[in-house]
Structure 1
Amino acid sequence: MGSYLSKRVSYILIILAAASVMIFCLYAMTPGDFISSNIKLSAERKAELREIYGLNKPVLERYWTWLTHALQGDLGYSLAQQKPVLSLFNDYIWNSFLLAAVSTFFTWLIAVIVGVIAAYRQYSWFDTVVMIVIFAAMSIPSFFIGLFLIKVFAVDLHWLPPGGIITTGSNATGWAHIKEVIAHMALPVTVMTLLGTGSLTRYFRSNMIDVIQQDYIRTARAKGAKEGRVLFGHALRNAMLPAITLVGFELPALFGGSLIIEKIFNWPGIGQLYIQSFGQRDYPLLMGFTMLIAILTVLGTLLSDVLYRIADPRVKL
């Protein structure tokens, strides 16, 4: 395990180095930036700012400067937001993480339970209804579901707030603040759970159908084991093995934010900030965020490989 991890870490460093070069060059060679696109600045002021922030230097020199600072924990300064990039991450990324973590928990919980029952009762009315709901949820765009829920629960019934993370002007603290945040995140979490549950339920259903037909499942039933223990204690464990590979994609998703959902519900997350930065051509923030997602992606793949080995000792790394 130790030699495998050291080898994978060396590969990760090489991949991240190559990714940083490509990402930086891509943003650096894109025409325009925040300063040149700002019509409020005079030509002299633009030239002065480009000199201050080193934007008039060669690309490789600028990359080396960025890399040197990044290795020291400094991802640059956002010209549009007038804040360090890491400070902006700290302000926004945890809001996205809260939304994604809660929705991921409910997505996996519902997908596992519904997928197992649908596989056990294959071709029954329950399985038919589940498949219809799954395909319906996967075919309807997220923005339509989000706007529909806002119309019903916020506008018509007044049960839930339409957006934001807290009520405007609220000074609530303690448990009152927690309840306020929960109320505001109910609708976006519902939409994200509906969108994620469909494909994941199909995944667990198909895996469970293959597993419950294996000989060791028949043997467990022949020994008199309860059906619940057979399904969730024996079959589900092996059906979960292919799903472990999906864990690697969950890690960047937890911190990457949902671009559409955050925009619809005005949720102050990193996804909405990312979209806003594109329009403002705030390349330091875009570079820092893209590299963060790259790091989380390679770490996620490493985590899924290690978890697969832990779950199934027969797998050789």
Structure 2
Amino acid sequence: MSVYLGKRLIYMTLILLAASLLIFSLYALTPGDFISGNIKLTPERKAELREIYGLNKPVLERYALWMKNALHGDLGYSLAQQKPVLTLFNEYLWNSFLLAAVSTFFTWVIAVMIGVISAYKQYSWFDTLVLVAVFAAMSLPSFFIGLFLIKIVAVDLKWLPPGGMLTTGSNATGWAYFTEVIHHMTLPVIVMTILGVGSLTRYFRSNMIDVIKQDYIRTARAKGLKEGKVLFSHALRNALLPAITLVGFELPALFGGSLIIEKIFNWPGIGQLYMSSFSLRDYPLLMGFTMLIAVLTVIGTLLSDLLYRLADPRVRLH
């Protein structure tokens, strides 16, 4: 295991170095930036800012300086937001994490339950309805579902707020703050869960169909075990093994936020900040965020491999 971890750490380092060079080069070579696009600045002030932030240096020299600062915990300074990039991450990232973590929990619980029942009742009316609902959820765009629920639930029925994280002007603290956040995040969580349940349910259903046809499932039934124990203790455990590989993609999604959903519901997360940075050409923030997603993706892939080894001792890591 220690040899495997050592090799993986070397590979991860090389991958991240290559990713950092690619990310920096793409943004650095893109025409224009926040300074050149700001019509309020005089040519003299633009030249001064370029000198201060080293934007007039060669690309490789700027990359080396950026990497040196990044290794010391400095991802640069956002000119558009007038704050360090890490400070902005600390302000917005956890809001996206909250939204994504809650929706991911409900997505997996619902997908597992529906997938197991649908596989057990294959070709039944329930299975047919599930397949129709799954393909409907996968085909409808996120902005349509979001705006539709805002119209029905928030505008017409007035059950939930249409957006934001807190009520405008709210000074709630403690339990009142907690309940207000829950109240505001309900609609975006519902939309994100609907969007995620579709593909995941189909994935679990297909895995369960393959597993319940295995000989050891017939043996468990022949021993007289209850059907619920056979499905959830024997079949589901093995059907979940391939799903462990999805963990590597869930980690960056948790911190990356949902760009469209956060924009629709005006949720103050990193996704909405990332979208606004594009129009402002705030490259330090864009580079920092993209690099963060790359790091989380590499870490998530390693975690999925280790979790698969723990779940299935027959797997050998080399």
TM-score when scaled to structure 2? 0.99
In structure 1, the partner of 2:243 is: 243
In structure 2, the partner of 1:184 is: 184
In structure 2, the partner of 1:193 is: 193
In structure 2, the partner of 1:143 is: 143
In structure 1, the partner of 2:34 is: 34
Q: Deviations over 1:134-161 (max 9, x none)?
A: 1111111110100010001110011100
1:102 matched to 2:102:
yes
Q: Deviations over 1:163-209 (max 9, x none)?
A: 00000000111111111100100000000000000000000000000
In structure 1, the partner of 2:263 is: 263
In structure 1, the partner of 2:287 is: 287
In structure 1, the partner of 2:166 is: 166
In structure 2, the partner of 1:15 is: 15
CA apart distance, 1:39: 0.6
Between the aligned partners of 2:136 and 2:57, the Cα distance in structure 1 is 53
- Unmatched 5+ residue regions in structure 1? none
Between the aligned partners of 2:210 and 2:316, the Cα distance in structure 1 is 23
CA apart distance, 1:253: 0.2
1:312 matched to 2:312:
yes
Between the aligned partners of 1:261 and 1:123, the Cα distance in structure 2 is 34
Between the aligned partners of 2:208 and 2:272, the Cα distance in structure 1 is 37
Between the aligned partners of 1:169 and 1:112, the Cα distance in structure 2 is 40
Between the aligned partners of 1:202 and 1:26, the Cα distance in structure 2 is 37
- RMSD of aligned C-alpha atoms? 0.6
Between the aligned partners of 1:27 and 1:77, the Cα distance in structure 2 is 15
Between the aligned partners of 1:140 and 1:267, the Cα distance in structure 2 is 21
Between the aligned partners of 1:209 and 1:131, the Cα distance in structure 2 is 14
DSSP-derived class of the 2:240 partner? helix
Q: Deviations over 1:51-92 (max 9, x none)?
A: 111100111111111111111111110000000000000000
Between the aligned partners of 1:166 and 1:23, the Cα distance in structure 2 is 35
Q: Percent identity?
A: 80
Between the aligned partners of 2:298 and 2:38, the Cα distance in structure 1 is 36
1:274 matched to 2:266:
no
In structure 2, the partner of 1:225 is: 225
DSSP-derived class of the 1:245 partner? helix
Alignment of 1:16-95 (within 5 A): 16-95=16-95
Between the aligned partners of 2:14 and 2:122, the Cα distance in structure 1 is 47
Between the aligned partners of 1:20 and 1:202, the Cα distance in structure 2 is 35
In structure 2, the partner of 1:129 is: 129
DSSP-derived class of the 2:55 partner? coil
Q: Deviations over 1:11-47 (max 9, x none)?
A: 0000001111111111111001100000111111101
Q: Deviations over 1:90-135 (max 9, x none)?
A: 0000000000000000000000000000000111111111111111
Displacement over 4 Å in runs of 4+: none
In structure 2, the partner of 1:254 is: 254
Between the aligned partners of 1:160 and 1:20, the Cα distance in structure 2 is 42
Between the aligned partners of 1:48 and 1:73, the Cα distance in structure 2 is 25
Structure 2 letter corresponding to 1:15: I
In structure 1, the partner of 2:297 is: 297
CA apart distance, 1:316: 1.3
Structure 2 letter corresponding to 1:218: R
Structure 1 letter corresponding to 2:99: L
Q: Deviations over 1:288-312 (max 9, x none)?
A: 0000000000111111111111111
CA apart distance, 1:315: 1.0
In structure 2, the partner of 1:234 is: 234
Structure 1 letter corresponding to 2:225: A
TM-score when scaled to structure 1? 0.99
DSSP-derived class of the 2:204 partner? helix
